[in-house]
Structure 1
Amino acid sequence: MATYEADVVVLGAGPGGYVAAIRAGQLAKEHGGSVICIEREYLGGTCLNWGCIPSKAMIAHAERYQHVLHAKEMGILINGTVDYDFEQMQARKNKIVQTLRGGIGMLFKKNGVQSIEGTGKLIDPHTIEVTRPDGSKDLVRGKNIILATGSSVMKINIPGLEGENVWTSDDAVNAPFVPDSMLILGAGAVGVEFSFVFNALGGHVTVVEMMPHILPTFDEEIAKEAERALSKQGIQFITGSTLKSAERVGDRWRCYVETPNGIQQFDVQVVLIGVGRKPNVDGIGLETVGIQMNKRYVAVDESMRTNIPHIYAIGDITGIAPLAHVASMQGIVAAENCFGAARRMDYRAVPNVVYTVPEVAGVGLTEQQAREQGYEVRIGKFQPRILGRAMAVGERDGLVKVVADAKYGQILGVHICCSHASDLLQEAVLAIKLEATLDELVDTIHPHPTMVEALMEAFHDAAGHCIHKA
């Protein structure tokens, strides 16, 4: 049994852990010290290997296929049959993942981070026992420890639903075929993104959501706009409903869905469970060292410290905002605090994006949240369909909505459903971060012709003088 020692030990190499390790490595070079990162499987964690990156590659494939199918609308004539090679699509996706995974390894070497492969668990406040893939064990001791073990797909018990062609999101990114029919349980980001992919590639997709509208964490008006746009593409959404049971009938799943109008039956080739994730907190020794929990999550302060000052926790195991980019920022904060900084997390301006076509994005308070918190609000709205750029590129669906404080004009939230919403959103993120007001934003020149003019017009609308709103 070998023993390793470091100033910072990171458990987990997902988007929180690997970023924390690299930032700690940079600081170790400046101040002296060493960094070790322990990962049981692949560098990059869920986001890179089974989540963010492979799913976005699949979305890009589906979107490009749809562009070609509808090329005639732009005067582009294609002779012959338009088809796709799903195996080649998946191979391209895998190559992207492998390239990025290798890139993390190169960054580790550049920044002096030692990578150890194995499954780790705390055995005392400064020591992690690592079980290697061959079963051997090593000890890794750290002055500071950052826990970044992430989350896993959550499986729920549906009576009768067990066996072949019952997929999780992990299965879906490695799908061996495009189902001719699919029922997706859950209309959050995961369910809605995969509904776009498999519908665009020719499958018949039904999405079941227990809440009154899809994307329940987003502004309701924007979520309804997304539902309208995606329904127009052929996706069937059944909201306010639950999957009660299923049975195998031939090579199909017969699903019984309880809806406001009674039980409906759907016969599908594949059922995809996309209802959420659970934190990876079991088996990592939290109870051994007395880490305080907040229900099923690790409790942390704004510095990302647990109740044990030299042990930090970041990412999905904290339950604060289960997003890759939040985990990365938490990792930077934790790493810098390991070297004596006094960094604190600021969650006022956390961007959230769903990468369908059109995209859905939001930051800050929804209209409902702002009113519940006692704000008197001013709302600005604009539909990008009348923009010259939207017409030119043929992407006219959507709505942009601004929520501002009526008294001072401070931007409280921005919510977008349109082409390139993920790019448009960053102006809003900065506006909230810097406590910008409507007066400042309407006095800012935006480029023409662009999609970002939809955001500009929504700011003007909230201020009471939108130029191009009929």
Structure 2
Amino acid sequence: MAEFDLIVIGSGPGGYVAAIRASQLGLKTAIVERENLGGICLNWGCIPTKALLKSGEKYESLSHLKDYGLSAEKIGFDFDAIIQRSRNVAKQLNGGVGFLMKKNKVEVIEGTAKLEKGKDAPKVVIALKAGGSRTVEAKSVMLAVGARARAIPQIGLEADGDRIWAYREAMAPKFMPKSIVVIGSGAIGIEFGSFYRALGAEVTVVEALDRIMPVEDEEVSRAAQKAFEKRGMKFRTGCKVTRVAKDKSGVKVSIEAGGKAETLEAEVCISAVGITANTDGIGLEALGVNMDRGHVTIDGHCATNVKGLYAIGDCAGAPWLAHKASHEGIHAAEHIAGFKTPTVQSPIAGCTYAQPQVASVGVTEQQAKAEKREVKIGRFPFKVNGKAIASGDTEGFVKTIFDAKTGALIGAHLIGAEVTEMIQGYVTAMTMEATEEDVHGIVYPHPTMSEAMHEAALDAYGRVIHV
């Protein structure tokens, strides 16, 4: 007889949430974690980076006090204290996850798991952190093993903790660098570039594609680059990195663009070129688990092709977002418990917490055109929004995309202050299959930045009021 109903491997935002939901549903649940409860997101990703970014934002805002009729003297920062605050935030939330595991009677097993063939589901063999091993069996096993920073050792792009950093090193560095080359302009690269630029570092971002933040709508990408350049960040787009060389004083990043070679020099290089799923070395090949470029292949209920084995989050493919992992974890737990829920189909928003922030959900204008969909597009700038003017946050705009035939909201793209908090309004509308009539009929409180969301929807149908 199986010892557990469910064993979750990995305690990140997908794993620990899945374990809680499974326990709520009466399933005897255990969670296996090899490092820290909360996983990468809570300890070395989503949460502590936002603590750093908030410090950078607060410091940078001090240089604009005059705009608000204020003044201050001897403005400065304590870099070590900034880093320590970020680590304290992670520590606090790590302890919170531990409390939730106890509250929900989820057994926490500290160690590294490996899967072997079992009767109803794979066996889980754990090399215990305290020494020795333990083999546990369950009716179902859920992989929530996440991912790690991608390395490209053949060109020298591999974190060394000294001059070449990935997210861990960039989050808890030994010193504040005066100059940085960031390779990759996705959310991670842009956020770290934004933080270090806020503290005065010279930042150059290198992107292989022809524009920064390539997953975003082109109009947003262009506006974001212009805004970041205004803050002093530099960009090299359409560039191939051919070599990263380091010495005691810094790094030299060799790039090629348009047949021309160039070498960028800096004290530090931050690698933000993507992730690699943590699916190697855990026995998936021997079990015959279907894979796709290192990620586990799953169906609409997060089940793999192996009986009793599920996979969620980063290890199961894009989008590599914490909230997507949590959503999948809850869905999979409910499916295991016997819920007849429809497959996972909810729209997932993407957020970048730089200055300015960027948030989006659904299709871009370019994707809609590629799919030959007839669309209606609306835009509204924050520069004419009353709350934005009063707050001094007039940078950016809201863009909406509606299906011209059905009126369905199919995409929304925002850039500006706190848009990562606003995007959920559009996510809710899309989840509830709202049409333009529904969005137009919403009464937005005044004065708020969110009024721009209403105006952008009105603009798509020629009804905009304040432009």
TM-score (norm 1): 0.95
Aligned to 1:49: 43
CA displacement 1:206-258 (0-9 Å, x = unmatched): 00001111111111111111111111100001111122223346612222221
CA displacement 1:154-175 (0-9 Å, x = unmatched): 1113535665311011211111
Change (3 A) 1:338 1:388: same
Letter matched to residue 41 of structure 1: E
Letter matched to residue 427 of structure 2: V
Q: CA deviation at 1:261?
A: 7.1
CA displacement 1:281-332 (0-9 Å, x = unmatched): 1111112222222232111100111112321110111113211000001000
**C-alpha separation in 2, matches of 1:231 and 1:347:** 37
Change (3 A) 1:321 1:451: same
Letter matched to residue 320 of structure 1: A
Q: CA deviation at 1:269?
A: 0.2
Task: Map residues 8-157 of structure 1 onto 2, 5 A cutoff.
Answer: 8-28=6-26, 33-78=27-72, 80-125=73-118, 126=121, 127-157=123-153
Q: CA deviation at 1:69?
A: 2.3
Task: Map residues 186-265 of structure 1 onto 2, 5 A cutoff.
Answer: 186-248=184-246, 251-260=249-258, 262-265=260-263
**C-alpha separation in 2, matches of 1:75 and 1:259:** 46
**C-alpha separation in 2, matches of 1:283 and 1:249:** 33
**C-alpha separation in 2, matches of 1:449 and 1:303:** 42
Identity of aligned residues (%): 39
**C-alpha separation in 1, matches of 2:102 and 2:172:** 29
Match among 165, 168, 190 for residue 166 of structure 2: 168
SS in 1 for 2:74: coil
**C-alpha separation in 2, matches of 1:67 and 1:153:** 31
**C-alpha separation in 2, matches of 1:289 and 1:158:** 31
Q: CA deviation at 1:413?
A: 0.3
SS in 2 for 1:278: strand
Q: CA deviation at 1:186?
A: 0.3
SS in 2 for 1:70: helix
Letter matched to residue 304 of structure 2: T
Q: CA deviation at 1:122?
A: 0.7
RMSD: 1.6
Change (3 A) 1:120 1:397: same
Q: CA deviation at 1:94?
A: 1.0
SS in 1 for 2:137: strand
Aligned to 1:340: 338
Letter matched to residue 98 of structure 1: K
SS in 2 for 1:106: helix
CA displacement 1:125-159 (0-9 Å, x = unmatched): 33100001244110111111111111011111353
CA displacement 1:39-65 (0-9 Å, x = unmatched): 000001110111101111100000010
SS in 1 for 2:20: helix
**C-alpha separation in 1, matches of 2:62 and 2:145:** 41
Aligned to 1:406: 404
**C-alpha separation in 2, matches of 1:105 and 1:301:** 31
Answer yes or no: is the 8 Å Cα contact 2:331–2:344 preserved in 1: no
Letter matched to residue 40 of structure 2: T
Q: CA deviation at 1:178?
A: 1.8
Q: CA deviation at 1:177?
A: 2.0
**C-alpha separation in 1, matches of 2:197 and 2:318:** 32
Change (3 A) 1:444 1:167: same
Answer yes or no: is the 8 Å Cα contact 2:355–2:417 preserved in 1: yes
162-171 or 329-338, larger mean C-alpha shift: 162-171
Letter matched to residue 54 of structure 1: P
**C-alpha separation in 2, matches of 1:269 and 1:255:** 11
65-74 or 449-458, larger mean C-alpha shift: 65-74
CA displacement 1:56-97 (0-9 Å, x = unmatched): 11000000101122212211111x210001111111111111
Runs ≥4 in structure 1, deviation > 4 angstroms? 160-163
Number of aligned positions between the proteins = 462
**C-alpha separation in 2, matches of 1:258 and 1:175:** 29
Change (3 A) 1:270 1:435: same
Change (3 A) 1:161 1:292: closer
**C-alpha separation in 2, matches of 1:111 and 1:133:** 23
Task: Map residues 288-437 of structure 1 onto 2, 5 A cutoff.
Answer: 288-437=286-435
**C-alpha separation in 1, matches of 2:384 and 2:300:** 44
Answer yes or no: is the 8 Å Cα contact 1:330–1:345 preserved in 2: no
Runs of at least 5 residues in structure 1 that lack an aligned partner in the other structure:
none
**C-alpha separation in 1, matches of 2:423 and 2:409:** 13
Answer yes or no: is the 8 Å Cα contact 1:376–1:406 preserved in 2: yes
Answer yes or no: is the 8 Å Cα contact 1:333–1:344 preserved in 2: no
Q: CA deviation at 1:410?
A: 0.9
Answer yes or no: is the 8 Å Cα contact 2:184–2:205 preserved in 1: yes
Letter matched to residue 106 of structure 1: F
